[in-house]
Amino acid sequence: MGVHFGFESPLSHAPLQPATGRRAATGLRHAVFQQRGFHVTAYLTVQLTRNADGTAMVTLDRPAVLNSLDAQMIADLRAVIADVGRDDDTRVLILTGAGRGFCAGADLSADGDREPGMSIGDGIYRAMDSGFNPLVRELAALAKPVVAAVNGVAAGGGVGLALAADIVVAARSAEFIQVFGPQLGLVPDMGCTYFLARLLGRARARGLALLGERLTAEHAAHWGLIWKCVDDHLLIEEAQRIARRLAAGPRQCFGYIKRALDAAERNTLAEQLDLERDYQRVLGDTEDFQEGVTAFLTKRTPQFKGR
């Protein structure tokens, strides 16, 4: 929630440091660098690296404040999502953070767009409606797989940001913390009430939200909140391994798989069976399906083309 509260995040007391040499205009890219095998676009608060293997990595780049979310970072992330969505050469997106944290949630010390006379609550509503909520929706709706590599603390909205990804891998030192209620007097947002309730069940979701206890990456994996926990030095390697595997797969079907699983949350069994039937009708006519069948019958590795 990018509104000004007049105090700092409970997870970081470091003052916000200006990004040296970066332009202050909202949404403008700073620079583009290209070398053999990869292509880097530096936004004001994030960095997007595209690789020749069809994977891309977006790194939250405000380490001094544990990559907490302000209006600029939200705008940059939304621009990256739109950019990746349009780029046919990018088939999988990895999301991670710079420094010792993944994302500490909203930057509570940042100035928001609250107008004179507007209450703090109205300012929060406006920031969520115009920035935070669209970010989560757009990340979750991206037709391409998203892999979150949680490299350190994920707190508050940072938990929701990570869980909006399709596959979440966390470093063993990472922790997931619901700071909203116990420390701020707010309800969990950025989808946390949605994700926690569905992934963990009533008892664990309520315990985390009401008590705000730190959930280690190992427990998060054991509870089913995330895909897996790995040693810290293996985190990016594992995320890239997963991303490369997905990039080499029948990528056209991945968007359909994501939509089908999302629909299952609200559909009856009969409705879900009909949806599966409809999606198979579309995907059954693709070249990738024919390639998959041929490779299976001839006992070779399929070579998918995304068509």
Q: Look at residue 111 in the predicted model and tell me its pLDDT.
A: 61
Match 């892999």 to its residue by tokens: 147
The proportion of the chain whose per-residue pLDDT surpasses 90, expressed as a percent, equals 67
Question: Closest by alpha carbon to 27, among 85, 83, 109, 67?
Answer: 83
Residue 2 confidence (pLDDT) above 70: no
For residues 279-299, average pLDDT? 89
pLDDT of residue 290: 87
Beta-bridge partner residues of 175: 216
- CB-based contact 149:172 (threshold 8 Å): no
Q: What is the pLDDT of residue 101?
A: 95
CA distances from 282 to 209, 250, 274 (A): 41, 14, 13
- Give the model's pLDDT for residue 1: 38
Reported confidence tier of residue 5, pLDDT bands at 50, 70, 90: very low
Give the pLDDT confidence score for residue 112 in this predicted structure: 61
**Domain ranges in the chain?**
31-247, 251-297
Phi, psi for 271 (deg, rounded to 5): -65, -40
**Tokens at 40, concatenated:** 């880097």
Helices (H), the chain: 71-86, 120-127, 133-141, 157-163, 192-200, 202-211, 217-223, 235-247, 251-263, 269-283, 287-297
Q: Which pLDDT does position 169 carry in this prediction? A: 98
Rounded Cα gap, residues 93 and 95, in angstroms: 7
Report the pLDDT value the prediction gives residue 6, as an integer from 0 to 100: 28
Q: What is the pLDDT of residues 249-281, one digit of tens each?
A: 998 899 999 999 999 989 999 999 999 999 999
User: Residue 7 pLDDT more than 50?
Assistant: no
- What pLDDT digit, counting tens, does each position of 10-25 carry? 333 333 232 333 333 3
What pLDDT is attached to residue 40? 83
* Separation CA 128–CA 137 (nearest Å): 12
What is the model's pTM?
A: 0.85
pLDDT band at 306 (very low <50, low <70, confident <90, very high): confident
If you ran DSSP here, which 8-state letter would residue 114 be given?
A: P
Q: Residue 86 pLDDT > 50, yes or no?
A: yes
pLDDT at 225: 97
Q: Considering the chain, what is the average pLDDT of its residues? A: 87
32-74 pLDDT, tens per residue? 655 556 688 888 999 999 999 999 999 999 999 999 999 999 9
DSSP 25: S
Amino acid (1-letter code) at residue 184: L
With H, G, I as helix, E, B as strand and everything else as coil, classify residue 155.
strand
pLDDT at 18: 29
Residue 22 has a pLDDT of 37
What per-residue confidence (pLDDT) applies to 4? 31
| Lowest-pLDDT choice from 108-117, 147-156, 267-276 | 108-117
CB-based contact 53:93 (threshold 8 Å): no
Spell out the CATH class of 31-247.
Answer: alpha beta
Q: Say what the pLDDT of residue 170 is.
A: 98
| pLDDT tens-digit series, residues 219-246 | 999 999 999 999 999 999 999 999 999 9
Integer Cα distance of 295 and 300 in angstroms: 5
What does the angle CA 222 – CA 141 – CA 214 come to, to the nearest 5 degrees? 30
C-beta of residue 168 within 8 angstroms of C-beta of residue 114:
no
